[in-house]
Amino acid sequence: MLKSINHFCSIFLLCLVLLLSACGDNNSIFINKMSGEDFDDRKETKLRTYYSRLEERKTSLGLLRQDGGGVDTPFDINDIVEAFEQLAFYNEYNIDKNKLLPNSNAVSLAKWKSNTNILVRFGTSIGKEQKDKDLQEISSLINNLSIITGHKIGFSKQNENMYVVIANQDEIKDLIGEIGFTRPEFDPIRIPIITQLPKDIHCMAMTSMSSEPNSAVSSALVIIRSELPEIMRRACFHEEIAQSLGLTNDSHYARPSIFNDDDEFATLTKFDEILLRILYDHRLQPGISKKSAAQLVKQIATEINNKL
């Protein structure tokens, strides 16, 4: 479901690496240029209708599962290791303003070391009832992610370093513009892709870190379209926030998993939980290469799998 890209240097001479993932239909993110459309209330209504029908179609096909996997999705230790290596050590695309450039080179491991402090920003078009539902959904998810990873993740209005923006097209532009004043790594003027989403892109996330060796993730931006219906909305929360922790690639090797292009699962699976536990094992440090981590990843995966 998600795609990942890396590359960026800010004009403040602070060199950063950006990792981007986005959830969309029919691999629509794989285009050289993204352009937004003029937005009004009529188009917002059309988008809501479009996404509702899309969700109905996907669920009728048995997609967007929320059961965590089952007897129809068996996996073994080799599946875990192979999926982890694909998700943690590769990013499919580089980002250059509003262009996505193919990238098949292995990258070093990315994860958070500092606490992840989340600030949720809503567009003014979202009512209180929906806001409460979204906050409850995110709260439940991040509590679960904290338990899974052993990493502290929570809401905060101070020292925030992960921004979750839930808004329509116009509001996304305004809110990210405000965030860009204090977080230049997400400045939409230099990376317009994040405010020019075609309708086939439902949500996306970007994480940043210093380009210096062994650097950890330092900030993240998650964008969720407010027009999404319940299950697709939940899928975006699970997918983008979880991937912002460091598993930024997608792979067909990952099953049962939300870290896949096939939309089979909408929520975190047992397989995903194992992958996140591996990522946040204290023995795996940010910046480690795929080659250096290979034996350790297999050892950690085996230990975790044996306890299940």
SS3 at position 219? strand
Pairing of strands 15-24, 201-210: antiparallel
141: which 2 tokens? Answer: 């998810």
pLDDT digits (tens, 9 = 90+) for 203-250: 998 899 877 777 899 999 999 999 999 999 999 999 999 999 999 888
pLDDT for 24 equals 72
Phi and psi at 296, nearest 5°, equal: -65, -40
Residue 110, amino acid: A
Residue 188, SS3?
Answer: coil
Concatenated DSSP letters for 18-79?
Answer: EEEEEEESTTTT-SS--------HHHHHHHHHHHHHHHHHHHHTT-SB-S---TTS---HHH
Strand partners, 217: 112, 209
Sorting pLDDT into bands at 50, 70 and 90, what band is 195?
Answer: confident
* Pairwise CA distance, residues 87 & 260, whole Å: 9
Q: In this predicted structure, what is the pLDDT of residue 191?
A: 81
Closest to 86 in 3D by CA, of 261, 218, 221? 261
Tell me the C-alpha distance between 179 and 166, whole Å. Answer: 13
Token couple for 241:
């926030």
Overall pTM surpassing 0.85 (yes/no): yes
* Long-range contacts, 78-82 (Cβ 8 Å, 24+): 79/253, 79/255, 79/271, 80/271, 80/274, 80/275, 80/278, 80/301, 80/305, 81/297, 81/298, 81/301, 82/253
Higher pLDDT, 195 or 243: 243
Q: Which are the contacts of 48, defined by CB distance < 8 A and separation ≥ 6? A: 227, 229
- Residue 275 contacts residue 83 (beta carbons within 8 Å): yes
Domain spans, the chain:
5-307
CB 153 within 8 A of CB 220: no
Q: Which backbone phi and psi does 23 adopt, to 5 degrees?
A: -105, 125
pLDDT confidence of 144, banded at 50, 70, 90? Answer: very high
> CB neighbours (10 Å) of residue 73?
18
Which residues, other chains included, contact 254 with Cβ-Cβ below 8 Å and sequence gap of 6+?
83, 86, 87, 260, 271, 272, 275
- 106-118 pLDDT, tens per residue? 889 999 999 999 9
